[in-house]
Amino acid sequence: MTAGEQLRAEKKAWRLVQLLVGLVGYGTALTFLVGSSLGASSWSVLAEGLSLRTGMSFGWATNLTAVVVLLCWIPLRELPGLGTFLNVVLVGTSADLAALFVPPPTSLVQQIGYLLLGLLMLTFSDAVYLGARFGSGPRDGLMTGAVRLSGGKPIWLVRTAIELVVLTAGWLLGGTVGLGTLLIALLMGPLVQQFLRVTTVRLAADG
């Protein structure tokens, strides 16, 4: 749906609440993943690296990255929705707020716990906000736009290329790459797909 169609579609109140819960949960999940020190997603590795190099908070680095990626939508001719803009604002902000309440892990067991909890929260929250059907986040739009401009290259190939470039940049900046990075790369897609089956809001236009 276009941005206008998203706003005109039914169940707006429920969908808006679901969108906000998903985005806040997503940002909170990033705090657990980064806090585990066992590796996070490629984009979080980049944000962590930027945070270390610039002195800005992880959340602000996440928001800044999202803004830059969103600007890349212009030549890609991607159309943002309400969820796109709220993603830019809320994910990083929620990560910073969660960091005020989530204590650093004190043992390997707790690190693993943070990693697993963060992974489940990340995938479920991603499905929750996408299921609200207010548009994709900046990073997902970058992928779909790149797929279209690539002349129909497979989604997995384009997504993998983007993730590798982002991960390498983050690692060179000092971001943490580890077991969590591998787990997220392997499980993110399948888990989000499963969760979307129960989080996607059904609309009359679906038939």
Structure tokens at 43: 């984009």
Reply yes or no on whether the pLDDT at 29 is more than 80.
yes
Separation between Cα atoms, residue 193 and residue 45, nearest integer Å = 23
pLDDT in tens, 33-76: 999 999 988 999 999 999 999 999 999 999 999 999 999 888 88
Print burial letters for 17-43: b (CB count within 10 Å at least 16), e (below 16). ebbbebbbbbbbbbbbbbbbbbbbbbb
CA distance 205 to 37: 44
Q: What are phi and psi of 159, to 5 degrees?
A: -60, -45
Q: pLDDT value at position 135?
A: 86
The pTM score is: 0.88
Q: How confident is the model at residue 110 (pLDDT cuts 50, 70, 90)?
A: very high
What tens digit of pLDDT does each residue of 164-195 get?
A: 899 999 999 999 999 899 888 888 888 888 99
Structure confidence at residue 156 as a pLDDT band (50, 70, 90): confident
Cα separation values, 152 from 21, 142, 147, 156, 158, Å:
34, 14, 6, 11, 10
Residue 120's alpha-carbon distances to 5, 124, 170, 197, in angstroms, are 31, 6, 23, 15
- Locus of tokens 């499963």: 194
Distances (CA, A) of 182 to 39, 51, 207: 8, 22, 38
Which is more confident, 95 or 162? 95
Predicted local distance difference test score (pLDDT) of residue 4? 83
Query: Locate tokens 């990340």: which residue?
Result: 122
pLDDT for 12 equals 92
